[in-house]
A and B are shown apart, each in its own frame.
Chain A
Amino acid sequence: MTSEGPTCAPGRVAGSRTEPPAGTAAFPATLRRVRDGARFCGLFALPAGRDGVRLVAVVSDHGELLVEQEAVAAGAVAAGAGAAGTNATGTGAAGTNATGTNATGTGAVGTGAVGTNQGRYASLTPAIPAAGWYERRIRDLFGIEPAGHPRLDPLVLPVPPGSHAPLGPGGDPTARITPDLAPLPSHVHGEGVFTVPYGPVRSGVFEAVEYLIETSGEDVSHVRTRIFYKHRGVESRFVGASVEDGALLAERVEGVASVAHAMAFCAAVEELGGVHVPLQSMLVRVVHAELERVANHLETMVRHTEAAGQAVAYAVLSHHKERVQRLRAQLCGSRFGRGVVVPGGVTGPLGLPPADVLRAVGAIQHAIDRDVDRLMDTPSFVDRLRGTGVLSRDEARRFAVVGPVGRASGQAEDVRTSRPYCAYGRLGLPVAERHEEGDALARQQVRIAEIAGAFHLVRQAVDELDELGHPASWRTTVPSVSGMAIGWAEAPQGELLSLVEAEGGRLTHVTQRSASFHNLAAYPSAFPKDVFTDVAFVEASFGLSIAGAAC
C-alpha cells in the first residue's frame, strides 16, 4: 500500500521570523503584494511573550500563501512601525469608547485600560478594505489598536471600559466579560431615515445575529451586522489542549462546516509534525468534505425557496438535504461528519461499501438535479433572485471575497485547485463556469455547479478507494509538534485558514479563520439597489455561518 502522492501541504511559518520593517507603514510587503494583485487572506494575532502580540498577515499570490509578521508590544509599537503610531495615546477616558462612526484613526483611543494595552500599529484597512473586520476583531480580543482604521466599532466583543481585552496583555481569558452595549446604539436617526433592528432573536430558526437595516421606508440604504451575540471565545479554548482535542474543538467552531475545519486544522498539525497522511485517508476526507459541501449548498437553496414561498420546492429540497445528512451519518455515525478527520488521518473507512456509496450518491444526485432544474425553470422563483443583492466585481475584489459568493462576482479562486491540498491534486475538479453578475441568481448557479462538481469528486474518490483497498493504518502517528503553521481547506463557504501554534505537543494558539468571517465584511456592499423584502434572499445567498464568523 503506497502513501505517496500529494501531501496535505499547508504553509509552514518559521516560528520567530519577523520581516524587517521598512518605512513607517506596518506590513510593507503585504501592502505591496496586495497592490500588485495578491489576494488578502487574513490578519491573525497571537500572544507573544508576557505582554506582546504578534500579528500575522497572510496573502495569497499565484497559488502561494505568503506570510508577514509584525510584533506589537504592549504600550508601544515594536521597532519599525513606531512612526505609524503617531497618534496621541489618548486620554483613554474610561467609559467613553471613542469609537464613533466617523473615527478616522486620530480619535481612536484605548478601551479604558490605560497604560497597559497601548499597543498600536498602522491600520491596513485604508489600503486593504478586506482587513477592516480583522483589525476590529483583533482590537476587541487583543487590545491592539490599528491607528488610522476608518471605523473601529466593536465587532466580536464590546469590552466594557476598564476591562482588558481577554486574549491580550493583561487580559484573563477565564474572567467573565459582560458585553458593553453603550458603544453600540441600535437606532440611528436622520431625516426620513430610520434603522430597523432585526435580531438577535429572529422569527424562525436562525442563528443569533442582529442586522441593523437603515432604510427610508423601502430602499435599504445600509445594513450593519452585529455578530458579537454569538461570540463564544473558542480561540481561548484551544490553549493547552492536545492536538486530538483541538480537532474536536475545531469542528465546533463552525458546526455546519465541521469537516472543513477539522481538515484545515489537521493539515497545519500534520505540517508541523512532518506527517504523511495515508492516501486512502485523504480520499475519505474528500468524500466527507464534498458531501458537506452538497448539504450546505442545498441549505442555501432551501432558505431561498422558503423566502420565496415556494412550498413544494421547499419540501422536496429539504427532503434531499435530509437524505444527504443521513448518508453522511451512515458513512461515519455523525450527520455532520464529526470525529472522522483526526490529526494524521481519519478514524476509519467509509461506513458503507464503495458500491453502496456510489449507488446512494447517484440516486441523490439524480433527484437533486431534476428538482433544481425545475426550480430554475420557475419564473416566480428566478425573478426573485435575478438582480437581487448585487455584489459588484469591484466590491468583491476590494473585500477579497472568497467561496461561491466570490465566484459569482468574478473572483475565481477555489483553493481546491489554486493550492491543492489533501487529495484534491490528484482528483479532477470540473472547470467552473465563470460568473460576474454578482447577484443572488449567480450565487445560486455557482452552487448548483459546485454540487455537481462535489458529486463528481465523491465518485472519483470512492472509485479510487475501491481500487486501493484498506491501508495498513488509517492514521499516521503524529509526533509531539512545535512551531507555527497555517493549514487550509475550501469550506462550503469558501477558503478557510487555520493558524496553529504548538509547543511540545500542546496547542499554544489556534485561530480558525472561517470564510464566513472573511465574507461577512462584504455583506453590506451587497445591497446597492435592494428593497426590504430582498434582505432574506441576500442573506440566504451569502450562505454564511454566524457561529463561524463570531466564534
Chain B
Amino acid sequence: MKVKLGMITLILPVFLGACADMSVLEEVPAWERGSLARPEMAWEPDPMHAALRQHIYFSKEASSGAASAGGGGCGCN
C-alpha cells in the first residue's frame, strides 16, 4: 500500500508542542487530578453529538477510523 509519510511532518509540530509537557512524566497524585475529572475534559464531552458527527463525516468523506470497535456502516459510501 502507498502511504505518503512525507506529509505527516506538516501536522506533527502541533503535537510535539503538546508532548513537551511530558519531559518529566511523574505520576500525578490522585488528589491533583480534579481538573482532569471535569466533564469538559472528557475525550467526548457530548457523546451523542460526537457519534452523529462521526457518522456524517464517515458518510461524506473518504476517511474513517476512531478508537472504538462498535458502530455500523450505512448505504452512503
Partners in one complex: no
**Which positions in B face A, CB cutoff 8 Å?**
none
**Which positions in A face B, CB cutoff 8 Å?**
none
